[in-house]
């Protein structure tokens, strides 16, 4: 989950490293640090472990002392081993200062290695697992090995998934990077007189138009204007160049105070892009050119299992309910971290759909690897088309939401939901479960989604008072039923991660089975209650909460004139067909969490203890 950046070139590496780290800071912001090889050939390291201020403080520190070098590495940390402080910040160096490394991932046998190092008299200066890499590789360097061999031999002693980048005084004109397993990616690029490595393509966009993604078991050496790839046995490899999507450059806040409000506001466009090329209003068809399975192959699917984590899992839950109800295929959604370890029965007739905006979430990738071994066909619903998930899946369905910078997912959820809805119509049509007229009707309805979401966003003001009120509480309950359940779960997740208020998402029908005991004036309930086939049921649940002294805030349809007489506050969404309602109820829940977070003085873009891409399990 940490961010890495490396540079070799003809100008001072320091500002380039800091700039690169800014682009990957969303992966972790507990600390920031850089190491550069100075003109005298020694390694100079500067780091700051000041939580979110780290990168700014590092910037001031290196500017003040005019650090200079043409070769360097940088790191932004999401803490796994060891508290957030200066000592635990990366890069880490060997005792003799011959090597400096930055690491992303977890070393599972770190305690054993650490004990061996301590027994051999090495004094460790941090609590991190990462530091052992510097000492082990330093030992190999001391016995005459090259930097590349030293790193490969070192990771040969380690268990776990990781990416490591390093500089050494013995080879002052290069940076070496390697990847072992699925601990997030490492991307390599070059231009005429420089070369770069980064955790994410977005950090290289201003430097190069083509990148190479390092695979597990590969190591790369970058030098001024060039790079070379090898396998762990030292055999040279031809890297496959991929053109970068320069539209990612648009990742600027513009007129918005933060990325989250910008990304919430961008949701109508995100949906529009997710339907472009699929929803054909002229023919009334739903096209899915990315899926080249034959009709027979699609008909032979006897089960759909959707997997993902966090917000992507919630999008997947919505997708499962759509696939089951429209395409009539048994479908469920499951957390990848559970799926990967429970030895599930899946096979060649199971369609696995992985939902992952980054395509780099460790648990989701592991679940996908497992499914590949079982011979299941896999579709990845994702934003990052060059990601690891895209390489594992048989088919990818890009969501085209555009780069999401805010740690809290918003537009990628709505675009994933749109894509899954389209997929369910596509599957239903190919399996002849619905006819041409029904597809036409659904296509027409989906095409109204961007304007429906835009008009829901326009009512933004309605959530402000509710948010101010909710900010006073320490516990909240979110209820939904059917396709509104994943939305209630997502609303609660957003409130937890942004406002740090404890919030539970629950199926409304489950309340009587225990949770009712919590009801009272000290815990407001937010309900997703648009006009749908479960409305009457929700009404009963709402009455039960009210009868026990609980306050209720309800998201209701415009035409609803009942709930405003029963609940304490309503937030209205436009009337629309039932299968589009989850898209609309989602929006006020995002706004509620965002506004409550601001009310409490939280930073909506960088919530504490989190990172955008979770590349460790």
Closest by CA to 20, choosing from 498, 8, 124, 10, is 8
Which CB sits closer to ligand M6R, 185 or 550?
A: 185
Residues in the chain: 617
- Within 403-474, strands assigned E span none
Q: Is 261 in the site for ligand M6R (CB under 6 A)?
A: no
Task: Give me the catalytic one of 2, 377, 528, 576.
Answer: 2
* Residue with token string 């020694």: 42
Spatial separation of the C-alpha atoms in residues 616 and 610, rounded to whole Å: 12
Helices 110-119, 131-142: crossing angle, 10 deg rounding: 50
Q: Is 131 in the site for ligand M6R (CB under 6 A)?
A: no
Binding residues for ligand M6R, rule CB under 6 A, total 16
Question: How many other C-beta atoms are found inside a 10 Å radius of the C-beta of residue 337?
Answer: 18
Helix (H) or strand (E) holding 33: strand 31-37
CB of 614 to ligand M6R, least distance (A): 5
Q: Is 350 in the site for ligand M6R (CB under 6 A)?
A: no
Spatial separation of the C-alpha atoms in residues 280 and 266, rounded to whole Å: 22
Active site residue 2: yes
Which CB sits closer to ligand M6R, 176 or 367?
A: 367
Which CB sits closer to ligand M6R, 360 or 551?
A: 360
Which member of 54, 261, 267, 357 binds ligand M6R (CB under 6 A)?
Answer: 357
Active site residue 576: no
Which CB sits closer to ligand M6R, 311 or 403?
A: 311
CB of 239 to ligand M6R, least distance (A): 24
Which member of 267, 307, 311, 378 binds ligand M6R (CB under 6 A)?
Answer: 311
CB of 311 to ligand M6R, least distance (A): 3
Which CB sits closer to ligand M6R, 6 or 352?
A: 352
CB of 546 to ligand M6R, least distance (A): 31
Which CB sits closer to ligand M6R, 26 or 506?
A: 26
Select from 110-118, 282-290, 309-317, 435-443 the region that touches ligand M6R (CB under 6 A): 309-317
How many Cα atoms are found within 13 Å in the side-chain-facing hemisphere of 603? 13
Name the 3-class secondary structure at 312.
helix
Which CB sits closer to ligand M6R, 194 or 336?
A: 336
Residues in region 470-499 near ligand M6R by CB under 6 A: 497
Which CB sits closer to ligand M6R, 317 or 567?
A: 317
| Alpha-carbon distances, residue 349 vs 52, 278, 330, 339, 361 (angstroms) | 47, 25, 12, 17, 25
What is the b/e burial string over 61-73, where b = at least 16 CB atoms within 10 angstroms of the residue's CB?
Answer: ebeeeebebbbbb
Residues in region 496-515 near ligand M6R by CB under 6 A: 497
Question: Which residue of this chain has its Cβ atom nearest to ligand M6R in the complex?
Answer: 310
Name the 3-class secondary structure at 536.
helix
Which member of 364, 569, 590, 606 binds ligand M6R (CB under 6 A)?
Answer: 364
Which member of 31, 244, 307, 312 binds ligand M6R (CB under 6 A)?
Answer: 312
CB of 212 to ligand M6R, least distance (A): 22
Q: Is 182 in the site for ligand M6R (CB under 6 A)?
A: no
CB of 172 to ligand M6R, least distance (A): 37
CB of 572 to ligand M6R, least distance (A): 25
Closest by CA to 19, choosing from 254, 196, 270, 167, is 196
φ and ψ of 3, to 5 deg: -105, 135
CB of 613 to ligand M6R, least distance (A): 6
Task: Give me the catalytic one of 47, 262, 494, 612.
Answer: 612
| Alpha-carbon distances, residue 462 vs 308, 465, 493, 525 (angstroms) | 32, 7, 21, 17
Sheet bearing 241-243, strands edge to edge: 43-48, 31-37, 71-77, 3-8, 195-198, 187-190, 210-213, 241-243
**Helix ranges (DSSP H) in 374-435:** 388-392, 411-430
Asked whether the beta carbons of 62 and 74 are under 8 A apart, the reply is no
Spatial separation of the C-alpha atoms in residues 8 and 71, rounded to whole Å: 4
Q: Is 614 in the site for ligand M6R (CB under 6 A)?
A: yes
Query: Could you please report the per-residue DSSP string of 202-247?
Result: GGGTTT-SEEEEPPTTEEEEEETTEEEEEETTS-EE-PPEEE--GG
Spatial separation of the C-alpha atoms in residues 615 and 544, rounded to whole Å: 42
Which CB sits closer to ligand M6R, 399 or 427?
A: 399
CB of 609 to ligand M6R, least distance (A): 12
Structure tokens given for 115: 């004990």
Q: Is 606 in the site for ligand M6R (CB under 6 A)?
A: no
**Helix ranges (DSSP H) in 204-309:** 259-265, 267-275, 295-299
Residues in region 193-222 near ligand M6R by CB under 6 A: none
Spatial separation of the C-alpha atoms in residues 366 and 376, rounded to whole Å: 14
Query: Site mask, ligand M6R, residues 397-436, x = CB under 6 A?
Result: ----------xxx---------------------------
Asked whether the beta carbons of 142 and 39 are under 8 A apart, the reply is no
Q: Is 396 in the site for ligand M6R (CB under 6 A)?
A: no
DSSP conformation class of 344: -
Which member of 169, 194, 358, 388 binds ligand M6R (CB under 6 A)?
Answer: 358
Q: Which residues are catalytic?
A: 2, 612
Which residues contact ligand M6R (rule: CB under 6 A)?
A: 308-312, 356-358, 361, 364, 407-409, 497, 613-614
């Amino acid at each position: 989950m940490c961010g890495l950046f490396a540079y070799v070139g003809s100008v001072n590496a320091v500002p380039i490293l800091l700039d690169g780290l800014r682009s990957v800071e969303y992966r972790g912001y507990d600390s920031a640090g850089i190491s550069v090889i100075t003109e005298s050939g020694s390694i100079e390291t500067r780091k700051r472990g000041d939580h979110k201020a780290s990168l700014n403080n590092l910037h001031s520190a290196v500017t003040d002392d005019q650090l200079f070098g043409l070769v360097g590495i940088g790191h932004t940390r999401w803490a796994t081993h060891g508290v957030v402080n200066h000592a635990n910040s990366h890069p880490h160096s060997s005792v003799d200062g011959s090597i400096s490394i930055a690491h992303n991932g977890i070393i599972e046998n770190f305690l054993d290695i650490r004990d061996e190092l301590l027994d051999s008299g090495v004094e460790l200066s941090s609590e991190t697992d990462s530091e052992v890499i510097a000492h082990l590789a330093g030992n190999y360097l001391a016995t005459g090995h090259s930097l590349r061999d030293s790193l490969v031999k070192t990771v040969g002693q380690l268990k776990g998934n990781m990416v490591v980048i390093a500089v050494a005084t013995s080879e002052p004109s290069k940076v070496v990077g390697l990847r072992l397993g699925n601990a997030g990616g490492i991307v390599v690029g070059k231009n005429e007189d420089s070369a770069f490595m980064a955790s994410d393509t977005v950090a290289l966009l201003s430097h190069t138009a083509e990148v190479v993604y390092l695979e597990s078991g590969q190591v790369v050496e970058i030098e001024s204007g060039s790079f070379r790839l090898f396998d762990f046995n030292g055999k040279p490899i031809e890297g496959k160049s991929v053109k970068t999507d320069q539209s990612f450059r648009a990742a600027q806040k513009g007129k918005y105070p933060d990325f989250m409000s910008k990304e919430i506001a961008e949701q109508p466009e995100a949906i529009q892009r997710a339907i472009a090329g699929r929803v054909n209003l002229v023919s009334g068809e739903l096209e899915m050119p990315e899926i080249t399975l034959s009709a027979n192959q699609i008909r032979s699917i006897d089960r759909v299992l959707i997997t993902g984590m966090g917000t992507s899992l919630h999008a997947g839950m919505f997708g499962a309910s759509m696939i089951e109800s429209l395409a009539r295929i048994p479908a469920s959604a499951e957390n990848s971290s559970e799926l990967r370890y429970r030895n599930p029965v899946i096979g060649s007739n199971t369609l696995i759909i992985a939902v992952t905006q980054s395509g780099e979430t460790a648990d989701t990738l592991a679940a996908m690897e497992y499914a590949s071994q079982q011979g299941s066909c896999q579709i990845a619903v994702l934003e990052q088309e060059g990601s690891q998930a895209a390489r594992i899946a048989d088919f990818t369905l890009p969501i085209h939401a555009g780069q999401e910078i805010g740690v809290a997912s918003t537009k990628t959820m709505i675009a994933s939901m749109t894509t899954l809805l389209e997929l369910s119509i596509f599957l239903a049509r190919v399996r002849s479960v619905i006819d041409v007229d029904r597809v036409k009707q659904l296509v027409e309805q989906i095409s109204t989604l961007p304007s429906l979401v835009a008009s829901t966003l326009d009512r933004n003001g309605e959530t402000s008072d509710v948010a101010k009120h909710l900010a006073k509480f320490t516990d909240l309950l979110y209820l939904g039923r059917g396709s509104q359940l994943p939305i209630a779960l997502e609303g609660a997740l957003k409130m937890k991660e942004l406002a740090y208020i404890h919030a539970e998402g629950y199926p409304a029908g489950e309340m009587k089975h225990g949770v009712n005991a919590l009801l009272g004036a000290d815990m407001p309930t937010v309900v997703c209650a648009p006009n749908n086939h479960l409305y009457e049921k929700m009404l009963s649940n709402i009455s039960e909460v009210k009868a026990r002294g609980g306050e209720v805030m309800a998201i209701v349809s415009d035409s609803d004139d009942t709930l405003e007489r029963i609940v304490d506050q309503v937030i209205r969404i436009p009337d629309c067909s039932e299968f589009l309602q989850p898209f609309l109820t989602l929006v006020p829940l995002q706004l509620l969490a965002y506004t409550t977070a601001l009310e409490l003085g939280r930073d909506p873009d960088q919530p504490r203890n989190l990172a955008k891409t979770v590349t460790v399990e």
